[in-house]
Amino acid sequence: MLTRIALWTTKWILLPLLLAAAVAYGLDWVSLEYGIPTKRPKFAEYQVDQLYTVPNRWKEIEWSRGEPVMERCVNSLFPHEGSNPCWYVSTHLMRVNTL
């Protein structure tokens, strides 16, 4: 009985979800490559602030502010070409690095 339920779930729920995700990613890539719906730039840059956490000898965390860096992002819904999407980068303008 459990195998029939698992087979039905795979056939009617998981496979359509995977297919829909693959189609969405493909359409997002086409939109990025050809600038659809308008001719927009593929990439943008945002200034991201750096924070460093340094443990001291008393096992406390010290915070140190680093130099801001420019992060390249891609104007799409999903990450492409090794860059995060701009909607994500624009909402995460502070990066915490541990040393």
Average pLDDT over residues 11-36: 92
Q: pLDDT tens-digit profile of 42-99?
A: 999 999 999 999 999 998 999 999 999 999 999 999 999 999 999 999 999 999 998 8
> Is pLDDT of 26 > 90?
yes
Domain ranges in the chain are 1-37, 41-99
CB contact burial 18-27 (16+ within 10 A = b; e otherwise): eeeeeeeeee
Closest CA to 70 of 80, 83, 52: 83
Residue 9 tokens read as: 């779930």
Give the three-state DSSP class for 1: coil
Q: Decide if 89 contacts 73 (C-beta within 8 A).
A: yes
